[in-house]
Structure 1
Amino acid sequence: MFADFGEACCRVTKDSVAASAGTLLSFRPWQRMLLQHVLARRPDGRLRHRQALVGVARKNGKSALGAVVGLGGLVLGPQGGEVYSCAADKEQARIVFGTARRMVELDPELSELLKLYRDAIEFPKTGSVYRVLSAEAFTKEGLNPHQVVFDEVHAQPNRELWDVMALAMGARPEPLMIGITTAGVRSDSTGNDSLCYGMYQYGKRVAQGEIDDPSFFMAWWEPKDSAADFRDPSTWREANPGFDDLVSAEDFASMVLRTPEAEYRTKRCNQWVATGEAWLPTGAWEDCEEPQAIPDGAEVVLGFDGSYNNDSTALVVVQPGERPHLDVVECWEKPATADDTWKVSIFDVEKKIREACRRWRVREIACDPARWARTMEALELEGLPVVEYPQSPERMVPATQRFYEAVLNKTLSHSGDSRLARHVGNCVLRVNQRGAQLSKETKTSPRKIDLAVAAVMALDRASQRPEEDPIPFAIWGR
């Protein structure tokens, strides 16, 4: 519906490689498919999604697409509708809104239907309005939007405006908030995950089936191989659905010669580029993937990194050998819908450890005794091979180095578990007087790394010769 509206009434606002200014839009198949997914409907006829994140590299027609969505929400929306263009600052927000305003000026039919103001477009027939807003969220209380178009979500200084607008839409029967963006920074002004990166990770978990949330939709164009050569035209094509159509192939070839790799990957390949503190080189973890399960009855080492509440608890398994193999036994993470009283179930953790010990011949259970000392003591009394592994620099620095070298040299393999990949990708290195060890990007970051930490511990123990039981002896008296 929005695609048909766009092609019937909305016009190109600037001369480009795709078309001349003033000509009617002609949506490409990928754009039509995108709109169909974003605006998909449930069996009862209402919109399926309440929030959507669309990630695509620069110059792929994001502003025009956002403008069509905004105008479509105004003209095709409900009586008394409210549509808003939002961004980190008003000038950024004006880009999509300004494109929509110019589309109205260029089209006789829209010009007759709609009234233009500096910061608003009104549809008198339905009493609906389309306005432009910036990130000063405290001034937005009292709004009642049915549709919001967020431009460049990655630039939001925090998630306040997004949350304010989401709350404001609560009374609408078919609300839709769509963010259109490129990749950007991982952390916001508070030191936590940026709004966009948090949504990106959430979207990946929804897509991979880790979270069941049909109200959230994400489409993200990026290279399939995160380590793909950023200078290769095939990489550009994967990340740019409008490559050599909406965006010039010659421009890519020219700019790659004088643009830093990190910036090029972010803006032109739509990748979240690791910072200088990143742990593993791009693509190194993926290169070690060998999807296979550890057979029942095999000798293994378990690694356990436990939390108490509002974090994650991880249990991984390593099969020792010439090329050790890693897999995830279980990971307990706070559900997105849980409040701050959520806690890891001690019963579930103990049950899963016992099950692992029945499934495999467990040589050791490497565990940091902090917080879980009582559980580990109880399991040890049952005869399970618990080994204390305090996460001190003395242990973690050499263990981290061992793990790093194994990944780079491909002398370990892993099953490809998406949760483990996410935790590994969330790690950075913190350097102290003894060397570097794993850490979160910031102390308050909500990104989990516990599976990675447990994997480092387990590999360290699996790579060492098992401790032999002491030979009993006696001293005889006279």
Structure 2
Amino acid sequence: MAAPRWLTPVPAADIARGDGPQFCEFTEQFCRITKDSIGGAAGTRIRLRPWQRTLAGQLWARRPDGRLRHRTALIGTPRKNGKSAVGAGIGLYGLSFGPSGGEVYSIAADKDQARIVFGVARRMIELEPELSSAMRVYRDAIELPATGSVYRCLSAEAYTKEGLNPHLVIADEVHAQPTRELWDVMRLASGSRLEPMMVGITTAGVKTDSTGGDSLCYTLYQYGLKVVSGEIADPTFFLAWWGAPDDANHRDPATWAQANPGFGDIVGAEDFQASVLITPESEFRTKRLNQWVATAQAWLPGGAWEACADPRGPIPDGTEVVLAFDGSFNNDSTALIAVTVPAGGELPYIDVVASWERPTGSGNDWAVPILDVEEEIRRACRRWQVREICCDPFRWARSYQILEDDGLPIVEFPQSPQRMVPATQRFYEAVMNRQVAHSGDPRLARHIANCVIKVDNRGSRIAKDARHSPRKIDLAVASVMGLERAMAEPEPEPAEPQFFSWADL
């Protein structure tokens, strides 16, 4: 049985006085399997596995004063590990043993997704006579008349949720939430409850930039890691996350077992063997190994870029390099990269020379400091032996002309498919074969992680994900251009014309 990769600490005494045993007894006595599966036949009672019992004890732990320990929980498991059934059990338990006038909600990015957990709960009631005799079931609501409590499913139109007063919220597939608005509305709405709880149950999704600010789920995940490490002391936050390490071999059955607590039990090994052959790697890693990938169409496999890091330090002065420049004027970023020209069997080495991004909180009138960029390029040329400065002439023709007039070796590199397709392929192969090294600069790592692959009839090349336009990729683009030129044979010097006299013949 796989243990969680990440788990916030919960004192044994809090578990002992908690509601875990009561939840498990309720689930096994009143909740039934709703569909035929490896875990059992439809209509049979749910039998909780040891890992699920342990999870329940941790989730429903109580403080010494008798109050529930956790107000927010994020539970991450790969697909097919009984996530919907657990969520439905949590919802029905909260409805049955919650306060009088309680409100339980299943939420998700859209109503169809929200109805999955809610629909499982409703079917459990239909299959269990004791539940069906005590509860009234409607299309989008379950009522418990004895306490005046209700269980509903809601979608992501957060502006319609004002005025609710939930004591328990089950959020399904948190990674799919387009914004954090619904989550925040429900969390704030529960402020008057004595023991409110938000429970997010999810698989991993699209990895955000280094701050995680544009993804609710990744923000919660990162916060949970800080609680796990002790960086943040927050006993109200609970994280239980099953998954494989980023650099794990996604085709190895040992990796499958490591990431899936129900592997070989409620999810079969044969299913993995079949799906790994036909599922794109990024999707397999996200849905089956619960790993965060850089984007929905990840460019590099998880851990591949990190494996090429080399802590050798700055590029020594006087080294032969190629400078690569990718620039914008405003509201984006501008990047300057150095790539060493390989010599003597050494690998080409990539490092960030400078990067300019719009500061957080600045207005839309921010512009790239063009004179500073030009001076940084001159400074790099004084520091290293620069074979060439490759750049896309778009919007920066004036600066390129000035630098060329200064005698600097400007080489135009238009970011056309004809140039970027082979350059992208060369970069990918170099990373995968560990034939390139880099400094580990976190800015470059973030830009690399933000890249997606754009595929058309001209080939594959990196691009920015249109769904997450604020994310920057300019350092990645410059790195691709720089490696392409650093690995190319130097341009031959033009032959000087020779003049002969008849007397020399």
Q: TM-score, normalised by structure 1?
A: 0.67
The residue correspondences of 1:395-410 to structure 2 (distance < 5 A) are 395-410=419-434
Whether 1:412 and 2:436 are equivalent positions in the alignment is yes
CA distance in structure 2 between the partners assigned to 1:258 and 1:138 by the alignment: 39
Paired position in structure 1 for 2:87: 66
Paired position in structure 2 for 1:240: 260
**Deviations, residues 221-244 of structure 1 (Å, cap 9, x unaligned):** 4332456142x3211122213435
Which residue of 136, 151, 155 maps to 1:130? Answer: 151
CA 1:332/1:200 → structure 2, altered by over 3 Å: closer, same or farther? Answer: farther
Whether 1:5 and 2:19 are equivalent positions in the alignment is yes
Paired position in structure 2 for 1:261: 278
Find the structure with the greater CA-based Rg.
2
Contact 2:348–2:435 (8 Å) recurs in 1? yes
Structure 1 alignment gaps of length 5 or more = 187-194, 474-478
Paired position in structure 1 for 2:326: 305
Contact 1:423–1:451 (8 Å) recurs in 2? yes
Paired position in structure 1 for 2:452: 427
Q: CA deviation at 1:327?
A: 3.1
In structure 2, the residue corresponding to 1:66 is in which secondary structure? helix
Q: CA RMSD in A?
A: 5.7
CA 1:123/1:269 → structure 2, altered by over 3 Å: closer, same or farther? Answer: farther
Contact 1:145–1:165 (8 Å) recurs in 2? no
CA distance in structure 2 between the partners assigned to 1:456 and 1:40 by the alignment: 53
Q: CA deviation at 1:84?
A: 1.3
**Deviations, residues 178-221 of structure 1 (Å, cap 9, x unaligned):** 432235789xxxxxxxx999456656776899xx9999997654
**Deviations, residues 278-317 of structure 1 (Å, cap 9, x unaligned):** 6557765455444443344362433332334444443433
CA distance in structure 2 between the partners assigned to 1:339 and 1:100 by the alignment: 47
Paired position in structure 2 for 1:14: 32
The residue correspondences of 1:7-406 to structure 2 (distance < 5 A) are 7-9=21-23, 10-12=26-28, 13-14=31-32, 21=45, 28=52, 31=55, 35=59, 54-67=75-88, 70=91, 82-87=103-108, 90=111, 92-97=113-118, 102=124, 117-118=137-138, 119-122=141-144, 129-134=150-155, 140=161, 142-145=163-166, 147-153=168-174, 159=178, 163-167=181-185, 169-170=187-188, 172-173=190-191, 177-183=198-204, 198-199=215-216, 220-225=241-246, 228-230=249-251, 232-244=252-264, 247-248=266-267, 251-253=268-270, 256-257=273-274, 260-262=277-279, 267-270=287-290, 279=299, 285=305, 287-297=307-317, 299=319, 300-321=321-342, 322-329=346-353, 338=361, 341=364, 343=366, 346=369, 350=373, 353=376, 357=380, 360-361=383-384, 363=386, 364-372=388-396, 388-406=412-430
CA distance in structure 2 between the partners assigned to 1:168 and 1:377 by the alignment: 56
State the one-letter code of the partner of 1:235.
T
CA distance in structure 2 between the partners assigned to 1:128 and 1:351 by the alignment: 67
Q: CA deviation at 1:453?
A: 0.5
CA 1:450/1:234 → structure 2, altered by over 3 Å: closer, same or farther? Answer: same
Structure 2 alignment gaps of length 5 or more = 1-13, 498-505
Q: CA deviation at 1:76?
A: 8.5
Q: CA deviation at 1:324?
A: 0.2
Contact 1:310–1:334 (8 Å) recurs in 2? yes
Contact 1:93–1:133 (8 Å) recurs in 2? yes
Paired position in structure 2 for 1:437: 461
Q: How many residue pairs end up in the alignment?
A: 446
**Percent of counterpart pairs with the same letter?**
46
CA 1:365/1:98 → structure 2, altered by over 3 Å: closer, same or farther? Answer: same
Which residue of 478, 490, 494 maps to 1:454? Answer: 478
CA distance in structure 2 between the partners assigned to 1:213 and 1:359 by the alignment: 45
Q: CA deviation at 1:61?
A: 3.5
CA 1:446/1:176 → structure 2, altered by over 3 Å: closer, same or farther? Answer: farther
CA 1:472/1:410 → structure 2, altered by over 3 Å: closer, same or farther? Answer: same
CA 1:71/1:104 → structure 2, altered by over 3 Å: closer, same or farther? Answer: farther
CA distance in structure 1 between the partners assigned to 2:164 and 2:258 by the alignment: 39
State the one-letter code of the partner of 1:457.
M
State the one-letter code of the partner of 2:76.
G
